[in-house]
Structure 1
Amino acid sequence: MTIDALYDGLNYQDFYIGKVTQVYRSNCIAQIDNLSLMSDRSKFNPSFLPNTINNYVLVESTLGIFLGEIYENKASRKNIFEISSGDVDVKSNDYQEVCIDTIALMPNGASKFQLAGFNTLGITDKVYLATDSAYKLFLASLEFCGDDEEPLPPFATYLNKSKAEVSLKPSTLFNRHLMCIGATNSGKSTTALAILDKVVSTKRKALIIDPTGEYRNAFSDDEITKLTLGVDTTVAPGKISMEQWEKLFETENSSQGAVLSEAITSLRYMRKIGSDTCYYKVGEDIEEIQEKIASVGKDDVDFDISRLPEQIQLESVCEPDRDSNYNFKYRYDTLKANMNASLVQKIQYQMTNTKFLTFFSDNPDMYNLLDVIDEFVRLPDASLYIDTSTLGASEGIGGMIIDLVSTFVMSKKEVCPFVFFIDEVHRYAKSRYSDKDYHGGLTLLAREGRKKGIFLYLTTQNPKDVSPILFGQIGTLLIHRLMLNDEIRAVESHLDDYAIKHVRKLNQGEVILTSVNLLHNMFIHVNKSPRTQYNVTPTL
């Protein structure tokens, strides 16, 4: 492609500004010959400001056409007003220079930009201000995956090029997983919905887990199947693994986990023999009880979860000395009862939420969560929304549901590719009572899910609250304004020096998009979606 073709019918000589006078390995300096273009404000528009920096230029070289970004603009005159007034009396030692960072190269005969690599500019190469159309071509060249893939509709505009829309291919955003990061009121939720809008409206599959109900009316019933846990959707207690129960009730140590396991196994035995009462062990023969508990098989999974607090109290037993007939019988252990008290209180607290017991049931008149997800992963065009807000704000139940769903979808052999969106993933980071991460199933999904076509889309307020293993699997970041040093340090390996300096300066809705699938970081402003979203911060 020639320099003339890049200006799409315009006279490219009208955009000529000067020639390269100094060349370095990754940048150059050009002296301005056309001072009238740099000062003629009648030609200025929001995306074309040649008298400042962050503008893009095209450099005509023997190797092809270089794209560069102006990062420094300086004039030699002490009285700058002489230049702005268009004074034609230019002295021989007056000059204006721009410093240009070399970004990309379009080799001779090519139609797309690529990284400049070790290629450099030359002295006297001509420099032209780049138009929006030339920058759009650069945007189209940024992506180096999914060549035959249809891009998503535009969801943002470039910050310094208001007419250049950002329209990326799904693979660019999602094939190495996507995370949206930002402090409260930075525009994180708006960005999340803007991209989800384009995914759902173009009939691509999405599984949305919403812990706050923020997106409950964002999509119509025709676009997406909606479930509300504890209201119209249940899951059988027998489908939950012992590790997931520990996450749900946030056991503080291994002893509490063991007691919880014993209590659940006892209730499973009672259900096996057709009783929904608790299993009383005090005064009973130890060997006889152990034989009965051992009879619980892998198919005996159901139990009455409402009896769990009482059963944990009944597990406070120990083995005494033998009686006169050399028999062992359980006796009540006050020390164990005191140790189990905090676990009983946590479970009772969870159960005070009436939706909790409704959710963990076998109600045939309600949807079964895992059955619906099983159907979802097999249908090519279906999307699914799951509202978990009715189960309360507990991190335990949220972490358990994420782990349950992640493990379940990973167990499926045949999966139609989909985007797995989890809002406020930091809610499921760590227990309030232990240091155990909640990302067992989620980390497995991040590592192995791409092979099955499962792509994560996560939002979080603080990247430090996310498991380092999980964060290490994220290849694309949408970074909103961050203020704390530890937050910025968590993402600095994804950014260059210029971007790091501007993280604190981003306005609401402004984003740094960085990805392993892009040639260059992008500074964009996300367009607010017209869909309904309950994220307005109330005022006093």
Structure 2
Amino acid sequence: MNIDHVFQRSAHEAGTVNLDKSNYYLGTISEVSAAAATIQIENLSILQGRIFQRESFVPGGMNYMIIVASENGIFIGRVKRNAIKDSESIHVLMKTGKLDAIYPQTAAEMLAYIPPFMDVFRPTGFSSVAIHDKVYLAPEEVITRYYQSLEVLDSAKGERSLIPFATLAVKSNLKIGFKPATLFSRHLMIIGSTGSGKSTSALSILDKASNDGEKILIIDPTGEYKDTFDENEIDKLHLGEDTCIVPGSVSIDQWIDLLQASPGIQAPSLMNAILALRFQWKNDLKGEVYQKIGTTFAQIETNMANLSSEDTNFNFTCLEQQMLQESVSEKKFSNGELEKDYFKANANRPLVERLQQFQQSPMFRKLFADASQNSLTERLDAFFEGKRSLYVDASTINSGDQVGQLIVDFICRRIEECKQREQQAFILFIDEVHRYVKRQTNDGSLVEDGLTTLAREGRKLGVYLLLTTQSPNDVSKILIAQMGSMLIHRLTQPDELFSIKNYLDEDSRHQIQKLDQGEAILTSVNLMHDIQLKMDKSKRSHANSSPSLQCESK
């Protein structure tokens, strides 16, 4: 394909007889480097704004698209810099309006090219433009075709694109849509400070994915999306209201994390207390604690050996009293008989007090109950087996507690357990994920929670993550590293910018702090380069507006 074929095709797409390429001409390549190519503009008047075939151009600025006619093919690039020499003679020429005598220089980054005898854009690789190649403004059809070719993932070729949820920043009238595999095959994280449009972008993507028939599991910590989806299109549950967590479905490790039991004495005592109550439950002694004072460790071990992997239920209300039975040691000069150990009792006292505080919390009692309500485990299993999406309202949970982390960890581990068999793939959406991920344990060691494990292994199971956060610095580096795609809105704090700097090119890093509400940069391993977008606002209900300080006058 040569430059004449490019403009002939653009004219056909625009519904016109011909596009005169001379109207799009800018100049020639005067310098070539690895970073950018320098363009010698014909004269300053060429850079004035213009309108051709309902297309508007402002070539005096930056970020607009150009094409280069080269022996190596048709290159497309983005202008990074415009400049004219700063001299007295130039000043006089500008003052007198002699623009034709001024010769600006423009620098442009080459993004892709159409090789000879081909019709699609390819990464530039080792190919480059050459000195004296002619440069033109890129017609709309070329820009559209280029952005449609950005998706480089082979598995996306057989998919249809989602309904467009954004427009190109370089061409505000050009809608752009992406294939599901491009966005989600390596997981997608949406990042932005409060008021940047992060939640609006998430809703727009969810809306298009839902309309396309994708299966979605939504975890909403704030209730923003409570009225977004109709019950005819998605199942809904509300933790602590119509759905509870059966204590026996929570693993001992999760209880240790929830109650922040220290690894020395508290964690083993808590584990033994739960095992003892499981033994009581199995033997129809559900309301009684397991008395350990006066028995022996050998007898206790014999009883605990009767528990199977299916014996997980226990009476959570007895856990505080059972913890008091765990502070024991062998009595001196006896046959292993156990007595109270005051040293262990003092060490366990903070854990017992913390447990008492949890049990007195109305929210905690509603959330962790026996099967008098719908069990979260059963609702999740029904979701895995079915085809409908599921919305989990976690707004009644105090996100400052460890409970929030437990909920996400519980759901993620349940997904991992149940997705081993062949089932329909789905998107897992977690809003404000920094609230629910652990960075380290109390002793400072790194941990890998259920969400991080799912980020590593979920793609094999058909689970694709869509996460949002306003604080990427509060998300573990392990989880961040698993994100193959990021939609980044405005960020202003240096530490937040530093945490994602390796995911953006140099130009994008400079723009992040200046983005307007709704503007974002999409970066992905599945795209040839970063894309500047203006996100469309979904028409679905979204409870994310802030109340005004000024009351309306009556």
TM-score (norm 1): 0.91
- What corresponds to 2:64 in structure 1? 55
Q: After TM superposition, give the deviation of residue 45 of structure 1 in Å.
A: 9.2
Aligned AA (2:252):
M
Moved more, 268-277 or 1-10: 1-10
Q: Say whether 1:474 aligns with 2:483.
A: yes
Give the counterpart of 2:460 among 434, 451, 467: 451
Q: CA deviation at 1:316?
A: 2.1
Asked if 1 retains the 8 angstrom alpha-carbon contact of 2:265 and 2:344, the reply is no
Deviation of the 1:518 alpha carbon? 0.4
Superposed, which structure 2 residues align to 1:429-508 within 5 Å? Answer: 429-430=437-438, 433-435=442-444, 439-508=448-517
From the superposition, tell whether residues 235 and 262 of structure 1 become closer, same or farther in structure 2 (CA, over 3 Å).
Answer: same
Q: Deviations over 1:183-227 (max 9, x none)?
A: 222222222111111111211011111122221111111111111
1:406 alignment partner, one of 412, 422, 438 = 412
**1:305 is aligned to 2:321:** no
**Alignment pair present for 1:116 and 2:124:** yes
Question: Quick one: structure 1 residues 352 and 114, their matched pair in 2 at CA, closer, same or farther if it must change by over 3 Å?
Answer: farther
Instruction: Quote how far apart the aligned CAs of 1:315 are.
Output: 1.9
Partners of 2:44 and 2:103 within 8 A in 1: no
The 1:250–1:6 alpha-carbon spacing in structure 2 relative to 1, beyond 3 Å, is: farther
**Equivalent residues in 2 for 1:253-268 (5 A)?**
253-268=263-278
The letter for the 2-side match of 1:369 is L
Contact 1:353 1:391 in 2 (8 A): no
Q: Does the 8 A contact of 2:49 with 2:58 survive in 1?
A: no
Provide closer, same or farther for how the CA distance between residues 57 and 41 of structure 1 changes in structure 2, counting only shifts above 3 A: closer
Q: Output one character per residue of 1:419-470: Cα deviation in whole Å (capped at 9) or x when no partner.
A: 1111122112337845455643222211221112111111122222222222
Cα deviation 1:56-81 (Å, max 9, x = unaligned): 10111122210011112123475568
- 1:192 maps to a residue whose letter is A
8 A contact 2:49–2:60 mirrored in 1: no
Query: 1:429, 1:437 within 8 Å by CA — same for their partners in 2?
Result: no
**Higher mean C-alpha displacement, 217-226 vs 338-347:** 338-347
SS in 1 for 2:466: strand
Return closer, same or farther for 1:254/1:423 CA change in 2, 3 Å cut-off: farther
Q: Are residue 391 (structure 1) and residue 402 (structure 2) matched?
A: no
1:522 alignment counterpart: 531
1:378 Cα offset (Å): 2.9
Tell me how far 1:493 sits from its aligned partner: 1.4
Query: Does the Cα contact within 8 Å between 1:512 and 1:521 map onto a contact in 2?
Result: yes
The 3-state SS of whatever aligns with 2:309 is coil
Runs of 4+ in 1 over 6 A off after TM superposition: 42-47
> Would the alpha carbon gap of residues 71 and 394 (structure 1) be closer, same or farther in structure 2, given more than 3 Å must change?
closer
Match of 1:3 among 6, 9, 12: 6
1:350 aligns with 2:368: no
User: CA RMSD for the aligned pairs?
Assistant: 2.5
What residue number does 1:170 align with? 180
Percent of aligned positions that are identical: 38
Match of 1:370 in 2: 377
Between the aligned partners of 2:45 and 2:514, the Cα distance in structure 1 is 32
Corresponding residue number in structure 2 for 1:318: 329
Contact map agreement 1:378 1:414 (CA 8 A) in 2:
no
Using the TM superposition, give the Cα deviation of residue 113 of structure 1 relative to its aligned residue in structure 2, in angstroms: 1.3
Distance verdict in 2 for CA 1:147–1:293, change over 3 Å: closer
What stretches of structure 1 of length at least 5 have no aligned partner?
none
AA at the equivalent of 1:408: R
SS of the residue aligned with 2:541?
A: coil
Q: Distance in 1 between matches of 2:116 and 2:359?
A: 69
- The amino acid across from 2:378 in the alignment is D
Q: Any conservation in 1 of the 2:429–2:465 contact (CA below 8 Å)? A: yes
Task: Give per-residue Cα distances to partners, 1:403-432, cap 9 Å, x unaligned.
Answer: 222222222312211111111221123378
Q: Does structure 1 retain, via aligned residues, the 8 Å contact 2:50–2:57?
A: no
> Per-residue displacement from partner, 1:297-342 (whole Å, max 9, x unpaired)?
33322111122122212322222213xxx44433223322222122
Q: CA deviation at 1:359?
A: 3.1
The 3 A distance-change label for structure 1 pair 71 and 80 is farther
| Inter-partner Cα distance in structure 2 for 1:83 and 1:149 | 53
Q: Is the 8 A contact 2:280 2:289 kept in 1?
A: yes
Q: How far does residue 285 in structure 1 lie from its aligned partner after superposition?
A: 5.0
Q: In terms of mean alpha carbon deviation, does 262-271 or 436-445 score higher?
A: 436-445
Q: Which amino acid aligns with 2:375?
A: N
Asked if residue 282 in structure 1 is aligned to residue 289 in structure 2, the reply is no
Secondary structure of the structure 2 residue equivalent to 1:426: helix
- Contact preservation (8 Å) 2:196, 2:518: yes
SS of equivalent to 1:318: strand
Question: What letter matches 2:403 in structure 1?
Answer: I
Q: Take 2:401 and 2:469, find their aligned partners in 1: how far apart are those partners?
A: 14
Moved more, 34-43 or 62-71: 34-43
Matched, 1:418 2:426: yes
Q: CA deviation at 1:177?
A: 0.8
Work out which of the residue numbers 179, 187, 193 in structure 2 matches 1:183: 193
* Aligned equivalents of 1:528, 1:439: Cα separation in 2: 35
**In the superposition, relative to structure 1, how do residues 223 and 34 fare at CA in structure 2: closer, same or farther (>3 Å)?**
farther
1:120-159 Cα shifts (integer Å, max 9, x gaps): 1123222111133321211101111211211111111222
**2:174 partner SS:** strand
Of 506-515 and 278-287, more deviation after overlay is shown by: 278-287
Aligned match of 2:552: none
Which residue among 302, 317, 325 is the counterpart of 1:291? 302
1:360–1:96 distance in 2 versus 1, CA, 3 Å = same
Deviation, structure 1 residue 296: 3.0
The answer for the alignment partner of 2:262 in structure 1 is 252
2-side partners of 1:46 and 1:461: how far apart?
A: 37
SS at match of 2:199: helix
Task: Kindly indicate whether the alpha-carbon contact (under 8 Å) linking 2:412 and 2:450 is maintained by their aligned counterparts in 1.
Answer: yes
Distance in 2 (CA, whole Å) between partners of 1:125 and 1:249 is: 68
Alpha carbons 1:284, 1:330 under 8 Å: kept = yes
Question: For 1:158 and 1:213, how far apart are their aligned partners in 2?
Answer: 31
Report the CA distance shift for 1:389/1:40 in structure 2 as closer, same or farther (over 3 A). closer
Cα distance in 1 for partners of 2:55, 2:192 equals 26
Give the counterpart of 2:250 among 240, 246, 259. 240
2:437–2:451 contact (8 Å) kept in structure 1:
no
CA spacing shift, 1:40–1:385, aligned 2, 3 Å:
closer
- Please tell me the residue identity of whatever aligns with 1:397: V
Give 1:287 deviation, angstroms. 4.3
- Find the residue that maps to 1:176 and give its secondary structure: coil
Contact 2:38 2:106 in 1 (8 A): yes
Question: In the alignment, residue 100 of structure 1 is paired with which amino acid?
Answer: A
Checking the alignment, whether the CA contact within 8 Å between 1:15 and 1:129 is kept in structure 2 is yes
**Judging changes above 3 Å, is the alpha-carbon distance between structure 1 residues 498 and 349 closer, same or farther for their aligned structure 2 residues?**
same
In structure 2, distance between residues paired with 1:85 and 1:257: 83
Number of equivalent positions = 532
Question: Distance in 2 between the 1:100 and 1:456 partners?
Answer: 35
Shift of the 457–436 alpha-carbon distance from structure 1 to 2, 3 Å rule, reads farther
Q: Counterpart of 1:280 in structure 2: which amino acid?
A: Q
Secondary structure at the residue paired with 2:358? helix
8 Å CA contact 2:248–2:314 kept in 1: the answer is yes
